[in-house]
Amino acid sequence: MSSVRYGVVSYLLYTLACSHAQASAHLWPVELLPTHYESFTQCLAVLQQQDQDDHQGLATLEVLDSGATVKKTLQGPGLTHSGKDTASYQATVGWKTRLRVDDHMQANYTSETRDMRCDGPTLHSSPSGEAFPAMPESE
- Band of pLDDT at residue 134, cut at 50, 70 and 90: low
Q: Give the chain's count of helices (H) and strands (E).
A: 2, 8
Write out pLDDT tens, residues 26-66: 666 778 899 999 999 999 999 999 999 999 999 899 999 98
Please tell me the predicted confidence (pLDDT) of residue 25.
65
Task: Compare 19 and 26 and report the one with higher pLDDT.
Answer: 26
Write out pLDDT tens, residues 98-107: 988 888 888 8
Segment 5-15 mean pLDDT: 45
- Band of pLDDT at residue 86, cut at 50, 70 and 90: very high
CB 12 within 8 A of CB 133: no
32 Rama class: left (phi>0) / alpha (psi -120 to 50) / beta: beta
Number of separate domains in the chain? 1
Domain range holding 102? 2-137
Pairing of strands 122-125, 35-36: antiparallel
Under DSSP, is residue 23 helix (H, G, I), strand (E, B) or coil? coil
Q: Residue 41 CA to chain centroid, in angstroms? A: 24
Please tell me the predicted confidence (pLDDT) of residue 51.
97
Please tell me the predicted confidence (pLDDT) of residue 138.
65
Question: Does residue 18 surpass a pLDDT of 90?
Answer: no
Question: Does residue 95 surpass a pLDDT of 60?
Answer: yes
Please tell me the pTM assigned to this model: 0.74
